[in-house]
Each structure stands twice: as structure tokens, then as C-alpha cells.
Structure 1
Amino acid sequence: MKRVLVVGDVMTDVIVTPEGPIVRGSDRRATIRSRPGGSGANQAVWLGSMGVPVLFAARVGSADKTMYENYFRGLGVTPALAGDREQPSGVLVTILDADGERSFLTDRGANLNLSPDDLGDDLLDEAGLVMASGYSFFAPGPRVAVQQLLERARARDVAVAIDPASVGFLAEVGAGTFLGWTAGADLLFANADEAEALTGLTEPQAQIAALGAHYHTVVLKQGRNGAMLGDVAGIRLRLPAPAVAVVDSTGAGDAFAAGFVAARLRGEDEAQALAAGIAAGAQAVQSLGGQPQS
């Protein structure tokens, strides 16, 4: 099995579950927990848990570099981390609603300083796929670094997968801009909100066809309604999701992408890969945090 190179953020997720609606200017009891996170880190750890050889490239605060390296190695992930002397490691505050839906407050910290020097050519050695988080495109420095890496990947016939990652940031930069940055990728993993933000369309068939004009294969994640995939011709496969109790949807899309990719690397067909992605996403929502529970 070829290696997957994951490029993305390392974050500490601070997960806040209020007992009721937040009262502006006053108190609300809540459960507050800290978990390792970041979209790229989540994908890498899920892949490692599935037995996929995975190399994870990211930037963290220099004081945390050794700790994170040991953490990832312990979970079957080979780290390629740069240490930042100016910015601390990133932190994400997640506020959970009663139904498991999330709102975020993000301080990306050292992730914002990811540079071309952090993503050398050697990272592509033995790689069969590069997975790039959309968060890497929303700041100028990381965007240049990742775009140059993806150009080199294509020159070496290494497949590329993109996860848009954030509806809020997509709205800031504009759909056309993001499509211009990422068009030509072999795989796009998008949820329903991201697909609507990128196309202006609400119907899945139309969304997939529109996105298929920019990406070879489009995988549309629909949470409890399952998932589908297709291309410029529209939907060619659709599968349901199992009914599970949702505790926290953080990282469910990252788990889905890892499950799908792991299955394809094992030689499974699209239907098996889509089912594996759905199963991984369903597993992820049943526990707190964005990474598999040990």
C-alpha cells in the first residue's frame, strides 16, 4: 500500500457543551473538555488507525514540537512537523448544540506560518495520495506552500484530494476563488453546506455535476442521510447512513475521508469505499472529539 501525505492543521480542540442556551453577559453551566484536533491531524490519525501508512506535514509551536511528534508516532502516524518560534500551536473552541451541531472559534496560531520550506520534495517520496485541508488555502503563506506542493505532486502523478473544510472561510474568499485554487484535484470531499457554498445550488445532483466540472470525482457527505459520489455527469452512487446517537460531530468528515481513502488504497471499489467512509463517520459522531477513541 502506498503512503498518504496529509497536509493540514494541528489544533487543540476545546469542546464546550452548555447545559442550555448561552446567556449573554451571565453564566451558563457547561461541560468543557480538551482534545487533540485539527482537520489534517484528524485525517492522519484516522488513517493511521486504519493501518494506512501516513505522513503528516504541519506546523506547530516550537515548545510543543517534541510532544506532538511523540503523540503522532504513538498513533501510527509519521510526523513531519516544523516548529514555530513566533506563534503557539493552534487552538479551536467548539461550542456544541444539544443536537451535536457545532460552532467554532478559531486561533490557527503556528498553522498560519506553514511555508514552502516546510513541504520539501522528499515528502512526496512513496506517496500515492496527497490530502490537503481547505484550511491551508485560507491564508496566503500556507496557500502558496500547499499549491506548490500540489503542483509537484501532479508532476509526479501523485493523486490529490481536497476537503473544503469551512463554509465560513469559503464565504470570505468566494467560491470562484477557492475553485481556482484547487481545480483539477482527483477527489473533492464536501458536505452539503460546502457544496452549496461552492456552487450556489441546493440539489445534490446539480451540486455534484457543477463540482464535477472542476474535480475528477466529487464525494458529497450528507451526515445522517448518508453520502453520494459522482462527476460532471451527476450522481453515480448513493448510500444511506446507519442511525446512531450523535454525541459530537467534530471530525466526522475527517473520519469519513480517511475511511474512503483507506478502502480505495486497499483496492476496494467505489461502493465499498463509500460504505467505509460512512461507517467511519458514524463511528466518529458517537464520541467526543475529532479523533478515534483508544
Structure 2
Amino acid sequence: MSARLWHLGNVVVDLVLEVPALPERGGDVLATRTERTPGGGFNVMAAAARQGLAVTYAGAHGTGPFGDRARAALHAEEIDILLAPRSQPDTGFVVCLIDADGERTFVTSPGAEATLTSADLAELRPGAGDLVYVTGYSLLYDSNRSTLLDFLPRLDPAVTLVADPGPLVRQIPAGALELLLARSDWWSCNAREAALITGIEDPAGAARALQSRLGRGSVLVRTGPEGCLLHHGGRLVTVPGFVVDAVDLNGAGDAHTGVFMAALARGLDPVAAAHRANAGAALAVTASGPATAPDAVRLDAFLN
């Protein structure tokens, strides 16, 4: 696999707390398990790297205990790091509450990853066949948004741009969202995010509405255990999911996106890539933790 994934999103550290239920407003609850683990964009990159895709993190990262932990995790997955650490601040963190049903709730504290500048990407020239990944989280930060709006128009048309708007999509400035829609080759989101963007609760209807707003790309809408929908080549296709005993839903969408991009880079057609991504996400939710995407050997065995 000669292609490379250039990740322009944000690596943070997840402070994961498993709780019986979310506390009421002003209340308190005792966590049954806690963990500190790299998260955010790390999960997507790890999922892609474990499938054999070369990956470079092109986002910003800080100096301090969170930055050190993030870089150590990137190195452990053999993910290249483009930029030197910021002297300050430290990398940001996310408090992730996982309830007894496996659902997750986040609170994010931004750090160095929210300080990307145009100078950071001035020499970045992905080649034909490479993939670039952008997350909607980046468009929420003034510096990152300005940098990406400068970078995307000069991106080689032969480079595949994959965009994931994220759960805070309604907070993305309209102009930035439309530019991302116009350049994306793949718009990948879950059903909730598709509904927030389009106002259409039905995932199939939302996928069609999203497709009409894309300038050149296709749509993938994740529908949880049911799998995903693809709007590609002028038609809507349902790609069924896999039945598993879910333990932790945290990171399932990231695993799906990383596996999907790696499969595209290998030359699989989009439906086959989505089928493989569904399997990767299914395996990911059978273990606790956000970065539980399988490697290629385990995924192949599952599919066979």
C-alpha cells in the first residue's frame, strides 16, 4: 500500500470514566473505572495504521504530560508526526463519561491541538492517491479553521479528502461547512450528525440531502449496529452491519472511518470498503476503550 493518510485533526487525551448513570445536574456519581488514554484523532489514525496504511499526524501538539502521552501512543502505532511540539500549552483533554448502556458523553478542554497555523502546513503537499482527513472539531477553533480554509483550496484534486463533521457540527460556521462539503470526496458521519446538518431524521433521506450539497464527493452515514448507508455513483446502498455483544461504543465511529480509509487506499470499491469498515467497528465495540480497532489479521479472520 503506497498511499499515505495525512490527518489534519486533533489528538487529545481522553479521561475516561465509566459510571452507572450520568449524574443529575448538581449531583455526583462514583466512577466504576477510570482510564487516561490518547483519543480524538488518534483513534482514527490508529485504526488506519493497524490496517497497514502509512499515516502522518499533521496536527499540533503540546508540551506537558498530555502531549508526552499522545506522542508516545502515536509512536507505538508507527504513526509519523509532522510538527514539532508547541512549547506551550499542553495537549488538550476530553472527559468521557460512559454509562451502563455503553453510551458516551463528552466534555472537551482544548489545548495545543487548537493552535494550528498556515505556516504549519505551508510545505505540506499530499501526492496523488493520498488521503487527507479533516474533522469538524478543527473548524470550531479559530486558528485551525483559518488554516484549513487556506489549505483546502490548494489541495491537489487527485488527493482524496475525507471529512467527518463530528457531534458539534451545528457549531461550525456555515461558510466553513459549505467549503468542506464542496471539496470532500467522502463525507462520513453518523445518523445523528446527518440529521443535525439536514434536519431530516430518516438516515436515507439525510444521506440523499447531504449528497445534493456535495460538490464532488459521496456520502457515508453510519447507522450503528445496522451498518451504514452509502450514496455513491448516483445510488443509495445499504451495507449491513454485524451482530456482536457490545461492551463499549466509544470509538466505534473512529474505527469505522479509519478502516474505511485504509480499505479505499488498498483499492477496494466503496461498498467493499464499507463492509470491511462495518466489521472493524463491530470488533471495536467488543472491548473497552476508545482505540480498540482491530489489526488487519484479526479483521481478516473475522470476515473469513
**TM-score of the pair, normalised by structure 1:** 0.89
Deviations 1:155-214 (A, max 9, x none): 5x2121100112xx2223466752344423100001001000111111223211111123
Contact 1:5–1:56 (Cα < 8 Å) also in 2:
yes
Cα drift, residue 238 of structure 1: 0.8
Alpha-carbon separation, structure 1, partners of 2:48 and 2:161: 16
Contact 1:163–1:190 (Cα < 8 Å) also in 2:
yes
User: What residue is the counterpart of 2:34 in the other structure?
Assistant: 32
**TM-score of the pair, normalised by structure 2:** 0.87
User: What residue is the counterpart of 1:160 in the other structure?
Assistant: 161
Q: Tell me which moved more, 96-105 or 17-26.
A: 17-26
Q: Match of 1:224, SS? A: helix
Verify: 1:206 aligned to 2:208, yes or no.
Answer: no
* Stretches of structure 2 lacking an aligned partner (at least 5 in a row): 295-304
User: What residue is the counterpart of 2:261 in the other structure?
Assistant: 261
User: What residue is the counterpart of 1:16 in the other structure?
Assistant: 17
User: What residue is the counterpart of 1:249 in the other structure?
Assistant: 249
What is the Cα-based RMSD across aligned positions, in Å? 2.3
Q: How does 1:59-98 map to 2 (within 5 A)?
A: 59-63=60-64, 68-98=70-100
Q: Match of 1:263, SS? A: helix
Contact 1:7–1:130 (Cα < 8 Å) also in 2:
yes
Q: Match of 2:57, SS? A: strand
Alpha-carbon separation, structure 1, partners of 2:58 and 2:112: 13
Deviations 1:68-127 (A, max 9, x none): 444312212111234223322110001112211111110021122111122233352576
- The count of residues paired between Structure 1 and Structure 2 equals 289
For residue 195 of structure 1, what is the amino acid of its counterpart? Answer: A
Alpha-carbon separation, structure 2, partners of 1:66 and 1:33: 16
Alpha-carbon separation, structure 1, partners of 2:147 and 2:25: 40
Q: 2:150 aligns with which of 143, 148, 157?
A: 148
Percent identity reads 29
User: What residue is the counterpart of 1:189 in the other structure?
Assistant: 188
Sort the Cα spacing of 1:19 and 1:209 in 2 relative to 1 into closer, same or farther, 3 A.
closer
Sort the Cα spacing of 1:13 and 1:68 in 2 relative to 1 into closer, same or farther, 3 A.
closer
Deviations 1:211-258 (A, max 9, x none): 1123311001011111110149451x2122112222222211111011
Alpha-carbon separation, structure 2, partners of 1:162 and 1:115: 19
Alpha-carbon separation, structure 2, partners of 1:120 and 1:176: 22
Structure (1/2) with the larger strand percentage: 1
Verify: 1:284 aligned to 2:284, yes or no.
Answer: yes
Contact 2:47–2:255 (Cα < 8 Å) also in 1:
yes
Q: Match of 1:43, SS? A: helix
Sort the Cα spacing of 1:70 and 1:101 in 2 relative to 1 into closer, same or farther, 3 A.
closer
Q: 2:110 aligns with which of 105, 108, 116?
A: 108
Q: Match of 2:291, SS? A: coil
Alpha-carbon separation, structure 1, partners of 2:201 and 2:19: 31
Cα drift, residue 52 of structure 1: 0.4
Contact 2:22–2:97 (Cα < 8 Å) also in 1:
no
Contact 2:248–2:285 (Cα < 8 Å) also in 1:
yes
Q: Match of 2:225, SS? A: helix
User: What residue is the counterpart of 2:54 in the other structure?
Assistant: 53
Alpha-carbon separation, structure 2, partners of 1:69 and 1:60: 8
Q: Match of 1:160, SS? A: strand
Q: Match of 1:213, SS? A: helix
User: What residue is the counterpart of 2:299 in the other structure?
Assistant: none
Q: Tell me which moved more, 63-72 or 93-102.
A: 63-72
Sort the Cα spacing of 1:3 and 1:89 in 2 relative to 1 into closer, same or farther, 3 A.
same
Sort the Cα spacing of 1:17 and 1:175 in 2 relative to 1 into closer, same or farther, 3 A.
farther
* Stretches of structure 1 lacking an aligned partner (at least 5 in a row): none
